[in-house]
Structure 1
Amino acid sequence: MTMPLDVERLADLLRRAAKAEILPRFRRLGSGDVRSKSEPSDLVTEADEAAERMIRAELEVIAPSALFIGEESVAAEPDLLGKLADADFAVVVDPVDGTFNFASGIPAFGVMASVVWKGETVAGLIYDPMGDDWVMAEKGAGAFLRRPDGEAVRLSVAEACPLDAMVGMASPGYFFGADRDRILANLAKVRFFANYRCSAHEYRTFAGGHVQFVLYNKLMPWDHLAGTLIAKEAGGHVARFDGSAYLPSHVDGGLLVATNEDSWHMLREEIIGH
């Protein structure tokens, strides 16, 4: 397909925003530079807001017809999120994914962007400011680790394995009540699971073949559109808990990503349960 936006140009924009607005603030945030949003651990910093402003301003020049959906823009204007379902062309941005880590001085955060065209995600990018590289994918073209010198390494998910040998990423903090109890109990069936508090690095870890699954309950498009496309292009199987396809307009229904369809069904039965 013809890409509605030059992905290489978008990748460069994410990198420049990180170097100009994010990295200079890392471990240098003042007490007034960090604020809570929905709960004490849901944070926004001056870096998030400044980076998003820079990315948005440049996209208005290079992609003026695109609907811009940024995490911080939606926080300021919640009705903006509902426009994504009907947009012919949109760019969805998370200026600092892993803000809790960033604000805590933990070097596990990323900058993510995805391109949505006529209701489907057609490009996804995850930039790691600390490693200075991208994991990226275009629909139908595979997933790659790309470095600033142009070197590109094709990514592939891990080999399938039995449930008790699986290693995965899971975010049980957004399950509640009996669902949370059940999920946490069932996760004892896998070898072990982790949570980086950063979907950017969790998806990178999955697409690089280092874990067999990722599991989420909270679905915001800036957290998952780029990563799920990259996961699929690396060979993984992606679906909501009911088995339906995950689309840019979805904000609920849970999300399970596995190395293949058989592993997905095994995990759905054994971990999600009923």
Structure 2
Amino acid sequence: MTAAAEAAPLVIERPGVYDDVPAEVYHADPVPGGSLSSSEARRLLPPSCPALFRHYKDHPEQRKTTKALDFGSAAHAVVLEGDETPIVAINAENYRTKAAQQQAKAARAAGKYPLLPDELETVRAMAAALKAHPLAAKLLEHGSAERSLFWADPETGVRRRARLDWHRERRGGRVIVPDYKTAVSAEPRAFGRAVREHGYHVQAPWYLDGLQALDLAGPDAAFVFIVQEKTAPYVVTVAELDADALALGQALGRRAIEIYQQCTETGRWPGYSGDIVHVSLPPWAADDLEAAHG
């Protein structure tokens, strides 16, 4: 094989389940002509807009990596796969020194996740705590991590994709799909707020659509979140969204697909509004009015 062939980018042209697709390749979108992921769909919807989505897709070099993203990616590798090879341990107490900053930059450039020693120990402790949780540990048995799904939307033909944290082997009965999230709080009400803030209610039906389109699950399949706190004792909560949340997420996902199709066909990616908009002050601004009148 020539060096050119070895360097040829991965291209996904057919629907299916793909293993060993590097995360950076999946997020860069290996589908000719483009495809839509759940996280990208959320960028098409308020409070974002198509113009911001298009800029995000066209300028991957501007996407910022944060310590939180490094930590979350490292936790996924260790908790789901027991694999520390993507992690680079930074020999420093913090990132205040130039040497530590350069080590972190070099690690990210190599596609790895830099962690300080205490962060690495935390990730290891989280993995141990999750394995000790009977339900969460069982949900992560008999399967494969980081499987990529590619399919065509039956209503619009829009190419869609999803990346499963964990794909459990189908052994009869109802298919349950677990998704791992790290969080400040795994308390159910707090996670409910995070669901709305981050659009996880769009993610759940999106992934179920992919499984059903590829005949990997029936209509009774369930999508559950394994939510784990990032501080000791690393509490774990297994959460499933209720019917109302899933219905809203499904509707929002459909709207994003329609916007994507329209924008792709017209070549126009508008901002928040093309017309004059009427803006109201937030409800608490009434206090300012009362203060103004003394």
TM over 0.5: no
Whose strand fraction is larger, Structure 1's or Structure 2's? 1
TM-score, with length taken from structure 1: 0.27
**Which has more radius of gyration?**
2
Kindly indicate whether structure 1 or structure 2 has the higher relative contact order, using CA contacts under 8 Å at least 6 residues apart.
2
TM-score, with length taken from structure 2: 0.25
